[in-house]
Amino acid sequence: MADPKKLVEMLKSLEDQLVTCMRCGMCQAQCPVFAQSGREGDVTRGKIALLAGLAEEMIKDPEGVNNKLNRCLLCGTCEANCPSGVKVTDIFLRARAIMAAYNGMSPTQKLIFQQLLTHPGLFNTILDLGAKFQGIFTKPVNDMLGTSCARFNAPIIGDRHFKTLAAKPLHSDVPSLDTPAGASNLRVAFYPGCVVDKIYPSVGHAVLKVLKHHGVGVFMPKGQACCGIPAISNGDVASFQKMVKANIELFRKGDFDYLITPCATCTSTIKKIWPAYYEDKSDQITLAKIVDKVKDVSAFLVDVLKVSPMDTEGTKTVTYHDPCHLRNSLGVTAQPRTLLKATPGVKFVEMTDAASCCGSGGSFNLKFYELSQEIGRKKAQHIIDSQAETVATGCPACMMQMTDMLSKAGASRKVRHVVELYADTL
Partner 1 sequence: MTAKALIKDFEAIVGKDNVLTSEADLASYSYDAAVLPNAMPGLVVRPTTSEQLGKTVKLCNDNAIPMTVRGSGTNLSGGTIPSKGGIVVLTTALNRILEINEEDLYAVVEPGVITSKFAGEVTKRGLFYPPDPGSQTVSTLGGNVAENAGGLRGLKYGVTKDYVMGMTFYDVNGELVKTGGKTVKCVTGYNLTGLMVGAEGTLGVYDTITLKLVPPPAAAKAMMAVFDTVMDACRAVAAIIAAKIVPATLELMDNFTIRTVENFRNAGLPTEAGALLLIEVDGHPAMVEEDAIKVEDICKKNKASTVRVAKDAAERNAVWQARRDALPALAKVKPTTVLEDATVPRSKIPAMMSALEDIAKKYSLTIGTFGHAGDGNLHPTILTDKRNTEEWHRVEAAIDEIFDHALALGGTLSGEHGIGMAKAKYMKQECGIAAIEYSKRMKSVLDPKGILNPGKLIVG
Ligand X SMILES: Cc1cc2nc3c(=O)[nH]c(=O)nc-3n(C[C@H](O)[C@H](O)[C@H](O)COP(=O)(O)OP(=O)(O)OC[C@H]3O[C@@H](n4cnc5c(N)ncnc54)[C@H](O)[C@@H]3O)c2cc1C
Q: Which residues bind ligand X (CB under 6 A)?
A: 24-26
Amino acid making up residue 134: Q
Per rule CB under 8 A, count of chain residues that contact partner 1: 29
- Lay out the site mask for ligand SF4 across 59-88 (x = CB under 6 A, - = otherwise): -------------xxxxxxx---xxx-x-x
Task: Find the shortest distance in angstroms from Cβ 25 to ligand X.
Answer: 6
Q: Enter the DSSP assignment of 83.
A: T
Q: Quick one: how far is CA 201 from the chain centroid?
A: 16
Of these, 204, 221, 228, 323, which contacts ligand SF4 (CB under 6 A)? 323
Q: Enter the DSSP assignment of 343.
A: S
Residue 237 and residue 96: Cα distance in Å, rounded?
A: 10
Of these, 11, 18, 32, 247, which contacts ligand SF4 (CB under 6 A)? 32
Task: Say whether residue 332 binds ligand SF4 (CB under 6 A).
Answer: no
Residue of 343, 345, 322, 324 lying closest to 333 (CA atoms): 322
Task: Say whether residue 31 binds ligand SF4 (CB under 6 A).
Answer: yes
Residue with the CB atom nearest ligand X in the bound state:
24
Of these, 4, 9, 25, 385, which contacts partner 1 (CB under 8 A)? 25
Task: Say whether residue 186 binds ligand SF4 (CB under 6 A).
Answer: no
Tell me which of ligand SF4, partner 1, ligand X, none is bound by residue 325, counting a contact when its beta carbon lies within the kind-specific cut-off of 5 to 8 angstroms.
ligand SF4
Strand order in the sheet with 316-321: 346-348, 316-321, 390-393, 414-417
Task: Say whether residue 27 binds ligand SF4 (CB under 6 A).
Answer: yes
Residue 41 and residue 117: Cα distance in Å, rounded?
A: 32
Look at strands 177-178 and 216-220 and give their pairing: antiparallel
| Cα→Cα distances 81→31, 44, 49, 72, 254, Å | 10, 11, 18, 16, 38
Residue of 60, 149, 65, 74 lying closest to 112 (CA atoms): 149
Tell me which of partner 1, ligand SF4, ligand X, none is bound by residue 72, counting a contact when its beta carbon lies within the kind-specific cut-off of 5 to 8 angstroms.
ligand SF4
* Site residues, partner 1 (CB under 8 A): 16, 19-20, 22-26, 28-29, 38-41, 46, 49-50, 53, 58-61, 64-65, 67-68, 83-85
Binding site for ligand SF4 (CB under 6 A): 21-27, 30-33, 44-45, 48, 72-78, 82-84, 86, 88, 264-265, 323-325, 357-361, 395, 397-398, 401
